[in-house]
Structure 1
Amino acid sequence: MTKKKILISIGIIFGVIFLAVVAYGFYLYKSVSDTASEIHQPIDRTTERRENAVDIENQEPLSFLITGVDSRGETHSGRSDTIIVMTVNPNQQSIKMVSIPRDTRTEIIGRGTIEKINHAYAYGGVEMSMDTVENFLDIPVDHYVSINMEGFKGLVDAVGGVTVDNDFSFTQSGHTFNEGEIYLDGEQALAFSRMRYEDPRGDFGRNDRQRQIVEAMVQEAAHIGSITRVGEILNVVGGSVRTDLSLDEMWKIQSNYRDARHTVEQMQISGSGTTIDGIYYFEVPDEEVARVRDELREHLELG
């Protein structure tokens, strides 16, 4: 083969590779855009707890409400059995996560009743949940992410599974979880996150396991290797997740806040169980609410 033919062949090969890369890039962009549009559910609400909206470009600390809705299929109706408040401070390169027990007794904003906090989602969706959590903790809740817990196992599988540190051995839904560091696929992760009756800490232990899985998913999704599973991830996300964030906001947060994932602190709310009119509630003392509020407000750099 002559030198000219060799150069032409090499040129054709590089041309094909270039076109393939461009086509794949277009596919990824379109897939991401389509998924972002599917999961984007903006809400019409204002919070009195911030004078101005968070400036993402200048990396101001912000907060999220993460709710896990225990429903079937792609519906996002029902009670929020998982309620996690996450604050992100890129200046400190840290994240704080606190689970609010679903039986927590508090005022449901928008109804004027004193009930379990997870009822807010059933009554008024994510808007009422955000308003109720804001009132309970006296902090602004800037954005939300709602996850259908049935689709939750698909998300875990899509990122390649997660590794968590299990405090003690137990069995749940036909799965045995040994003490120590364990790997979980989606079905195992769902069972792991739901167990509470064998845990001496009850909902507290359950909440800790849920936070562990959320944190592990954040870490796995941030790895370059996860990009190879982007199609699967996007398919699952489209059917399982809803958020008020637009695609542009998600890109900016990923770019400006990603280093915060390196330090994740899991907080816990203390309280005690009580029964009122035959209904079980989790009561959180005012001083405990104040402690959590002050720590979160400091992390959000609020006065």
Structure 2
Amino acid sequence: MRSRSERKSKPKKRKWLKITLITLSVIFLLVAGYLFMLYKSLTDTVANMHEDPRGGQISEKRDKEIEFKKKDPFSVLLLGVDQRAGDRGRSDTIIVMTVNPKKESIEMVSIPRDTRTEIVGRGTEDKINHAYAFGGVEMSMNTVENFLDIPIDYFVQVNMEGFKEIVDAVGGVTVNNDLNFSYDGHTFPKGKITLNGEEALAFSRMRKGDSRGDFGRQIRQRQIIEAVIKEGASLETLVNYGPIFEALSENVKTNLTFDQMVAIQANYRNAAKSINQHTINGTGKRINGIYYYIVPEDEKLALQNMLKEHLEIN
């Protein structure tokens, strides 16, 4: 026969088991609720970011649509637009990325904003960054397609004026600065520096005080973008997702849908194993008193062939 103490211990154990199960259930519901809010905020943000200047049509240089499940190579045009109040602005940062998961590589080409080329839809030759001022994203995509002779499948546009909001939302960024300089009331010493939004914007805009000119500025802009991605992916930042999603929603536009972003994440991870950055060789020249960057035909042809090979275009 069980003693009185043994009989009392059984209900006590059941009571603690019940409390534990209730506590775990509450925690599960809270976590599930948080994840649902996070997912809904993310999908709402991507929906607000979505913009399709081609109305769902694929590039004229494509025979068929990209199939992410088959890991088809694709291209992305990154535009950093210096857009201020009452002004459409110009695309001061123009970067083309071709992504090939089979070759486990990404080719990244920075196009100098002063590059002289045909502006498709205008019938004139001008600086390539003027395409955005004349006809927005669509004219920019068409002009870059014509310049590189490859399809531009997708675009991501970042408003550099509002980029400071994104930097502040992730709690600032840390970069390795290779040039000691001052700009717009801020001083940037060489070495590892941490920047808030306003400082990051000034850091990414300076051009004339750098002997590399536009190339130096593009390097700093890539540093800021990479640092934002790194900070945005951290667990600590994820808890503060509200301001981050709001900043992205207001300052980033893309024709990629949420489902396409998910498919790229699932099928193209290996492409990031090797990121090769390319600059375009050319010379500066004044034509009718205006400075242009002139790219020789043989340089352009070599670049076109390299990108076509990476995109597996015959």
**TM surpasses 0.5:** yes
Alpha-carbon displacement from aligned partner over 1:267-291 (angstroms, at most 9, x marks no partner): 1011111111122111111111112
Structure 1 position 220, deviation (Å): 4.1
Distance 1:261 1:219 in 2: 14
One-letter amino acid of the counterpart of residue 63, structure 2: E
Aligned to 1:286: 297
- Aligned-partner SS, 1:150: coil
Q: Does 1:39 align with 2:49?
A: yes
Aligned length: 302
Instruction: Measure, in 1, the Cα distance between the counterparts of 2:205 and 2:17.
Output: 61
Structure 1 contact 219–261 (Cα < 8 Å) conserved = no
Single out whichever of 132-141 and 50-59 deviates more from structure 2: 50-59
The alpha-carbon distance between structure 1 residues 156 and 204, as it changes in their structure 2 partners (threshold 3 A), is same
Question: In structure 2, what is the equivalent of residue 28 of structure 1?
Answer: 38
- Conservation of the 8 A alpha-carbon contact between 1:144 and 1:244: yes
Deviation, structure 1 residue 133? 0.1
1:268 and 2:279 correspond: yes
For the Cα contact (< 8 Å) 1:62–1:142, is it kept in 2?
yes
1:211–1:266 contact (8 Å) kept in structure 2: no
Map residues 209-224 of structure 1 onto 2, 5 A cutoff. 209-224=220-235
Task: Evaluate the alpha carbon distance shift between residue 171 and residue 209 of structure 1 in structure 2; reply closer, same or farther with a 3 A threshold.
Answer: same
Using a 3 Å threshold, how does the CA distance of structure 1 residues 225 and 258 change in structure 2: closer, same or farther?
Answer: farther
- CA-based RMSD: 2.0
* Structure 2, unpaired ranges of 5+: 1-10
Q: What is aligned with 2:69?
A: 57
What is residue 196 of structure 1 aligned with on the other side? 207
Paired position in structure 1 for 2:5: none
SS of 2:293's equivalent? Answer: strand
Shift of residue 216, structure 1, vs aligned partner: 3.4
Shift in Å, 1:227: 2.8
Q: Which runs of 5+ in 1 are unaligned?
A: none
After superposition, residues 89-104 of structure 1 pair within 5 angstroms as 89-104=100-115
In the TM superposition, structure 1's runs of 4+ consecutive aligned residues that sit over 6 Å from their partners are: none
> Per the alignment, do residues 302 and 217 of structure 1 end up closer, same or farther by CA in structure 2, a change over 3 Å counting?
farther
Following superposition, the deviation at residue 160 of structure 1 comes to 4.1
Q: CA separation of 1:258/1:72 partners in 2, compared to 1, >3 Å: closer, same or farther?
A: farther
What's the TM-score, normalizing by structure 2?
Answer: 0.89
Against the structure 1 CA distance between its residues 189 and 273, is the aligned structure 2 distance closer, same or farther, given a 3 Å change threshold?
same
CA distance in structure 1 between the aligned counterparts of 2:132 and 2:165, rounded to whole angstroms: 23
Please list the CA deviations of residues 71-123 of structure 1 after superposition, one character each: whole Å capped at 9, or x if unmatched: 136x8922111111112222233222222111111101011111111111111
Q: Corresponding residue for 1:240?
A: 251
Report the TM-score, using the length of structure 1 for normalisation: 0.92
Report the equivalent of 2:152.
141
8 Å CA contact 2:58–2:153 kept in 1: the answer is no
- In our comparison, the structure showing a higher alpha carbon Rg is 2
Partners of 2:126 and 2:78 in 1: CA distance: 20
